Amino acid sequence: MSIDLKTASIEPIRRTFDHIAARLGPGKSPTRYQEGVWGLQPALNFHYRPTWDPARLLYDPERSAIRMADYDDLVDPRQYYYGTWTIQRGKQQDSQEKNFEFVDKRGLVDSLDEAWQRRLARLVVPLRHVAWAANNNNCYIAAYGYGAPLTSACSMHMMDHLAVAQYVSRLGLLLAGNETTCLDAAKAEWMEDPMWQPLRALVERTMVTRDWCELFVVQNLLVDGTVHPLVFDRFDKLLVAHGGAAFSMLSEFMVDWFAESSRWVDAVIERVAAESPGNAELCTAWVSQWLPRVQEALLPLAGYAFAGEASAMLDGIVDDVRARAAKCGLAA
C-alpha cells in the first residue's frame, strides 16, 4: 500500500528548454545533467577573434583535427554535472581522510621497512608532478576544446587530477613525518634522476600538444591508462606483500577514481571514433604514435620496481590499454 499525498497540481506548459527538447524528442523529460550541459557553449556570432589565437574563432572546432556533426554528443556516462560530481567527490574525500587519519594514528607507514619506504618514496611521490601535468592538460582541453559536455567533464577531471597530486603529496609528507624533505627529494629526482627523465620528457611533450583531442587520448587514455595500473595496482600488490597495506588505504581514491573516470574517457573516445572513419583513423594514429613512447618512458620505473619482470608486466599493461582502444573502435 502506498501513502497518497495530495499537492497542488498545476499543469506545466512545457517540460524543458527548446534546445533540450529538440535533442530528447517529444514527451521526454530531461535529466539535470542534460539540462546542465547541452547547448551551453555559445555557437555562433562571436564578436572578436581571440588575441591569443587570432587565426581562429573564439570557440573553434578546428583546434582539433577531429570533426563532430554535434559536439554535444560527447556526453559523460556518469552524468556528472557540478552538483553530482562534487557530492560524489565529497564522499570519497571523507573516506580518504579517514584512511589518512588511520594510517597516521597507527603509524602504519613506519611498519613498512625502510627499504620499501624508500622504494615507495622513489616510485610514487614524484608522480605528483605527473598528476599536475595531467591537471594542466585537462585544463587545456577545458579552455580550448569544443562543447560544454566535453569542457565541463574535463574541468572536473582537471580538479580530480589536482586532488591526486595532492593525495600523493600527502603521502610524501607522511613518509617524512610532515617535513617536506621527501617532496623535495622527489622533485629533485623528477628533475634529474635518469629513471624519471624519459617520462618527464614525454610529459613535457604533452604540455605542448595543441590538438585537444590528441591530448585527450594521450593524457587520459595512454598516460593515465598505464601509470595508474602500474603504480596503484601492480606496485600496490607488491607493497602489500611486503607489509605495505597502508599504501592501499592511502591510494583508495586513485583506484576507485581511475575505474570510474575510465568509463568516461572510453565513452568520449568511442563516440569520437564512431562519428567517422576519419576520426577513428586519427585516434588510431595517436595511439600508435604515442603508446610505444609511453611504454618506453615507463620502462625505467617498472624496472626499478619489478626488475626482471618489468618488461612483461609493462607489456601486459600496454595490452590492456590496446584492448581499451580496440573496444573504443580504434584499430590500435
Partner 1 sequence: MAKKKLGLKERYAALTRGLDWETTYEPMDEVFPYDRYEGIKIVDWDAWADPFRLTMDAYWKYQSEKERKLYAILDAFQQNNGQLNISDARYLSAVKIWLQGITPLEYVAHRGFAHAGRAFRGAGARVACQMQSIDELRHAQTQLHAFSHYNKYFNGMHNFAHMRDRAWYLSIPKSFFEDAYSAGPFEFVTSISFAFEYVLTNLLFMPFVSGAAYNGDMATTTFGFSAQSDESRHMTLGLEVVKFMLEQHEDNVPIVQAWLDKWFWRGYRLLGLVGTMMDYMLPKKVMCWKEAWEIYWEENGIALFHDLGRYGIRLPKHHEVAGKEKHRLTHEMWTTLYQFGNALGLHTWIPNDEELDWFSEKYGELFDTMYKPRLLYLRELEEKGERYFNNRLPMVCQVCQIPVFFTEPDDPQTQCVRIVEHSGTKHHCCSDGCKDIFEREPEKYVQALIPPQQVYRGEAGGATNIFEYAAWLHLERDVDTGEYRGSPDHQHWLEWQRRHKAASPDEAA
Residues numbered 81 to 110 that lie near partner 1 (CB under 8 A) are 81-83, 86-87, 89-94, 96-97, 104, 110
Residue 173 binds partner 1 (CB under 8 A): yes
Q: Which residue has the cell 580496440?
A: 326
Q: At 184, list the grid cell.
A: 623535495
310-314 long-range CB contacts below 8 Å, 24 or more apart?
313/230, 313/234, 314/226, 314/230
Single out the residue of 42, 200, 66, 62 nearest to residue 126, CA to CA.
200
Residue 74 binds partner 1 (CB under 8 A): no
> Distance between CA atoms of 302 and 295, rounded to whole angstroms?
10
Residue 121 binds partner 1 (CB under 8 A): no
DSSP assignment of 232-251, as one string?
A: IIIIHHHHHHTT-HHHHHHT
Residue 49 binds partner 1 (CB under 8 A): yes
Interface residue with partner 1, options 65, 67, 78, 143 (CB under 8 A) = 143
| Residue nearer to partner 1 on the CB measure, 184 or 256 | 184
Candidate ranges 173-181, 240-248, 293-301, 308-316; the one touching partner 1 (CB under 8 A): 173-181
Residue 63 binds partner 1 (CB under 8 A): no
Q: Which amino acid is at 1?
A: M
CB 38 within 8 A of CB 72: yes
Q: Least Å distance between CB 119 and partner 1? A: 18
Q: Least Å distance between CB 93 and partner 1? A: 4
190-249 binders of partner 1 (CB under 8 A)? 190-191, 200-201, 204-205, 207-208
Interface residue with partner 1, options 2, 45, 69, 115 (CB under 8 A) = 45
Residue 112 phi, psi (nearest 5): -85, 135
| Residue nearer to partner 1 on the CB measure, 149 or 313 | 149
> Distance between CA atoms of 172 and 118, rounded to whole angstroms?
11
Residue 107 phi, psi (nearest 5): 60, 35
262-321 binders of partner 1 (CB under 8 A)? none
Candidate ranges 138-146, 238-246, 261-269, 306-314; the one touching partner 1 (CB under 8 A): 138-146
> Distance between CA atoms of 85 and 261, rounded to whole angstroms?
11
